[in-house]
């Protein structure tokens, strides 16, 4: 067995200093780290003053009953007021809040004044439907402005929302409606995906036939596609009919800082989905601060675009609450990146002059696969900061992103966080940090995180282990909805007094943090714990490879052996000798211990609906097992294609 928690095999020596013009005018300087280190709670109390409070808090953190935190507990605020009304009151009513781009090419822009009117009407509409503070509302929508309006209307009346990703099945929706005991569902007839209208309402109807969903009394339906949908009189209500007749002014009520803001379900690896609960004041403080700090947002001039779906936490925190609390102008795009052509995203960047872009490694690697010539056709010079989230970004994908999207000018910020953490936790700052491609590097000011070994002891620089958060933070999850025990067991039992949510990481020679993937995916090879991320990054650093997924397969000699699935870059051919070349390349980059035993070129990899690689299924393939649960897979045909390729895959020593 291994005596190291996780091996550190990769060295990356490229460095990128912050551009002088970003550094000179940065929202946050190195002084913030010092201020937060000297007085962490004072630092967060200061950040809370970014918000408008009906009753400003005098308390910062109540940690008397860990791990159940209360932040700013005696303060009162309205989250929707902070995201909308206060910007209008400050004279910015004419500023665009949302540039909406529909997939078919329709577009409209919504100013803060218009957002205020629409959120106010929607809040009255919810009240007319009997929604009261504390009632849960399920939202099952495409990526359209009404989704954001619906979330803000819920926040305005104090009704926690539970947004369910629009491509989830009726079953998944029913389970989530039942767990949260939602009383109202907000949906649409459908939305546009991949060039065609895709229905949503029928899944709601089906979900509501389940006994667990019996308490739902109203379904509010936005008309987006105009397609024919089934209708239940007395239960179903058109959004436009109900909202149009409401007053356009609404007085927001202030709620306690710990009032629940939303529940968001994460699937977890086993068992029923976990309803992650976030509350109001601490959450909004951290998402507002991190959006300001990590993207260096200048609300008067920047155009921000987060490409995530609003159904994921990234959409909650960096489409809705972070940007809007900061009075930002942002883009909301309904569709897929390749509809009607592979350059659609870059066309949108050009059209709106996007300055700050936030996306996921999976999208970046897909663009690498499609080829450099596609972004090269568009004017991307407006961009000034690029962000990444969702998975470790391989150094080569980071470099590609900076070079082909950022014109070799822009800082790239690799932001590590989770549904559970609510907001960004570990990330470089664009005007401060000398960036290392592929590393999230440093906990943000006010965040305490480190890497520990099996015993919970901090590892020395140059070693790997488990990523833990060692002090409470404002946007931390408060519990798992209805299941405090599961909250304790899942996050707080592995290491005494520390939060742990499953990621492996290492500290490099400078003490900077590199994320190494989920610890469940770590491979044990001849006594070494090897991270999937490092082997994948080594493969992606080969000029012919765009994307790689690596798993450990049971092996009689070495406990596990490394099995890699790779996608070739645009233009690269699967030539004779490529597999041997790749194996030699990994051995050179990481050492012979990390050399994959098998490498299989594939066209697609299995991904969750939020774009994360599902290594579990590849492990089933590598071990010739029946596939496990495939319900969270975006496209189940992918697995058939991979299995069809298998017999030719072996490349034994």
Decide whether 537 or 561 has the Cβ nearer to ligand 6R9: 537
Distance of closest approach, residue 548 Cβ to ligand 6R9, in angstroms: 15
How far apart are CB 422 and ligand 6R9 at their closest, in Å? 9
Given a contact cutoff of 8 angstroms between Cβ atoms, the answer to whether 606 and 642 are in contact is yes
Q: At what angle do helices 637-645 and 615-622 cross, to 10 degrees?
A: 30
Name the minimum Å distance from CB 120 to ligand 6R9: 31
What distance in Å separates the CA atoms of residue 394 and residue 589, rounded to the nearest whole number? 13
Minimum CB distance to ligand 6R9 smaller for 60 or for 475: 475
Q: Is 391 a known ligand-binding residue?
A: yes
Other C-beta atoms lying within 10 Å of the C-beta of residue 394: 28
Nearer to ligand 6R9, 362 or 541 (CB): 362
> What are residue 146's phi and psi, to 5 degrees?
-60, -25
Which token pair is 400? 């590609």
Nearer to ligand 6R9 by Cβ, of 260 and 502: the residue is 502
Using DSSP's 3-state secondary structure scheme, residue 473 falls into coil
Using the structure block, give the residue that is written with the tokens 């200048």: 298
What does the chain come to in residues?
653
**Residue closest to 421 by CA, chosen among 440, 434, 402, 435:** 440
8-state DSSP, 613: B
Distance of alpha carbon 448 from alpha carbon 342, whole angstroms: 40
Q: In this structure, how many other beta carbons lie within 10 angstroms of the beta carbon of residue 457?
A: 10
What is the smallest separation between the CB atom of 494 and ligand 6R9, expressed in angstroms?
A: 14
Per the structure block, which two tokens stand in for 651?
């490349």
Please, what is the minimum distance in Å from the beta carbon of residue 551 to ligand 6R9?
Answer: 16
| Min CB(266)–ligand 6R9 separation in Å | 5
In the complex with ligand 6R9, which residue's Cβ is closer, 74 or 483?
483
Minimum distance from residue 416 beta carbon to ligand 6R9 (Å):
4
Q: Does 417 count as an annotated binding residue?
A: yes
Token pair for 544: 């012919």
Tokens of 527: 């006594």
For ligand 6R9, the closer of residues 406 and 601 by Cβ is: 406
Q: Is 484 annotated as a binding residue?
A: no
d(CA 512, CA 10): 13
Does the annotation list 419 as a binding residue?
yes
Is 387 labelled a binding residue? no
By the criterion CB under 6 A, which residues form the site for ligand 6R9? 266, 312-314, 389-392, 414-419, 440, 501-503, 515, 518, 610
Q: What is the dihedral of CA 618, 619, 625, 627, to 10 degrees?
A: -50
Q: 396 or 503: whose CB is closer to ligand 6R9?
A: 503
Q: Is 429 left (phi over 0), alpha (psi -120 to 50) or beta?
A: beta
> Cβ of residue 182: shortest distance to ligand 6R9, in angstroms?
21
State yes or no: 418 annotated in a binding site: yes
Q: Which is nearer to ligand 6R9, 185 or 313 (CB)?
A: 313
557 among annotated binding-site residues = no
CA pseudo-torsion sign 619, 623, 628, 633: positive
- The least CB distance from residue 514 to ligand 6R9, in Å, is 9
Closest by Cα among 485, 421, 473, 145 to 266 = 421
Residue 390 annotated in ligand binding: yes
Question: Is 314 marked as a binding-site residue?
Answer: yes
Question: In this complex, which beta carbon is closest to ligand 6R9, that of residue 190 or of residue 315?
Answer: 315
Is 414 part of any known ligand binding site?
yes
**Closest CA relative to residue 206, chosen from 180, 230, 239:** 230
CB 304 within 8 Å of CB 315? no
> Is 415 known as a binding-site position?
yes
Please give the annotated binding residues, written as ranges: 193-196, 314, 338, 390-392, 414-419, 503, 518, 526, 540, 542, 545
Please give the annotated binding residues for ATP, written as ranges: 390-392, 414-419, 503, 518
Please give the annotated binding residues for Mg(2+), written as ranges: 540, 542, 545
């Amino acid at each position: 067995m291994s005596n190291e928690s996780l091996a550190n095999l990769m060295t990356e020596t490229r460095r990128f200093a912050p551009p002088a013009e970003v550094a000179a005018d940065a929202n946050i300087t190195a002084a913030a780290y010092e201020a937060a280190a000297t007085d962490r709670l004072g630092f967060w109390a200061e950040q809370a003053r970014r918000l408008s409070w009906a009753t400003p808090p005098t308390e910062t953190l109540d940690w008397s009953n860990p791990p159940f935190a209360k932040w700013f507990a005696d303060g009162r605020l309205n989250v929707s007021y902070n995201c909308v009304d206060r910007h209008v009151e400050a004279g910015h009513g004419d500023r665009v809040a949302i540039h909406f781009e529909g997939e078919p090419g329709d577009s409209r822009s919504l100013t803060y004044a218009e957002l205020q009117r629409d959120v106010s009407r929607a809040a009255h509409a919810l009240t007319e439907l009997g929604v009261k503070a504390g009632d849960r509302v399920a939202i099952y929508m495409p990526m359209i402005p009404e989704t954001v309006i619906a979330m803000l209307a819920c926040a305005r009346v104090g009704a926690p929302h539970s947004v369910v990703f629009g491509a989830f099945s009726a079953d998944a929706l029913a389970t989530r409606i039942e767990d949260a005991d939602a009383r109202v569902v907000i949906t649409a007839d459908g939305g546009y995906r991949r060039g065609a209208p895709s229905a949503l309402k029928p899944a709601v109807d089906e979900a509501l036939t389940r006994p667990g969903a019996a308490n739902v009394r109203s379904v509010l339906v936005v008309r987006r596609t105009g397609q024919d949908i089934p209708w239940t009189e007395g239960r179903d209500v058109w959004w436009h009919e109900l909202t149009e007749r409401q007053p356009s002014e609404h007085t927001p009520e202030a709620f306690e800082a710990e009032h629940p803001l939303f529940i968001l379900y994460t699937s977890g690896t086993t068992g029923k989905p976990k309803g992650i609960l976030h509350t109001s004041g601490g959450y909004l403080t951290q998402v507002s601060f991190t959006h300001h700090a990590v993207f260096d947002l200048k609300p008067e001039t920047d155009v921000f675009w987060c490409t995530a779906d609003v159904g994921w936490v990234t959409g909650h925190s960096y489409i809705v609450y972070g940007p809007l609390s900061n009075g930002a102008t942002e883009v909301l795009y309904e569709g897929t990146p390749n509809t009607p052509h592979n350059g659609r995203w870059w066309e949108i960047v050009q059209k709106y002059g996007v300055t700050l872009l936030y996306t996921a490694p999976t999208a970046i690697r897909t663009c690498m696969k499609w080829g450099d010539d596609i972004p090269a056709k568009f004017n991307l010079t407006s961009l000034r900061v690029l962000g990444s989230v969702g998975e470790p970004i391989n150094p080569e994908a980071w470099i590609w992103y900076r070079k082909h999207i950022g014109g070799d000018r822009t800082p790239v910020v690799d932001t590590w966080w989770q549904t559970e953490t609510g907001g960004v936790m570990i990330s470089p700052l664009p005007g401060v940090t000398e960036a290392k491609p592929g590393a999230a590097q440093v906990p943000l000011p006010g965040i305490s995180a480190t890497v520990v070994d099996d015993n919970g002891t901090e590892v020395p620089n140059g070693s790997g282990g488990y990523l833990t958060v060692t002090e409470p933070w404002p946007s931390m999850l408060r519990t798992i909805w209805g299941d405090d025990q599961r909250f304790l067991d899942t996050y707080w039992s592995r290491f005494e007094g520390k939060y742990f949510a499953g990621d492996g990481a290492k500290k490099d020679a400078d003490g900077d943090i590199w994320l190494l993937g989920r610890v469940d995916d770590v491979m044990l090879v001849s006594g070494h714990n090897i991270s999937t991320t490092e082997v994948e990054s080594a493969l992606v650093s080969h000029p012919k490879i765009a994307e790689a997924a690596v798993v450990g397969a049971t092996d009689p000699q070495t406990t596990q052996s490394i099995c890699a699935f790779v996608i070739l870059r645009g233009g690269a051919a699967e030539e004779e000798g490529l597999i041997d070349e790749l194996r030699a390349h990994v051995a050179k980059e990481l050492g012979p211990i990390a050399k994959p035993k098998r490498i299989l070129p594939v066209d697609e990899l299995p991904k969750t609906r939020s774009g994360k690689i599902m290594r579990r299924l590849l492990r089933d393939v590598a071990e010739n097992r029946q596939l496990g649960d495939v319900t969270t897979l975006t496209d189940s045909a992918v697995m058939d294609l991979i299995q069809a390729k298998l017999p030719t895959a072996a490349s034994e020593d």
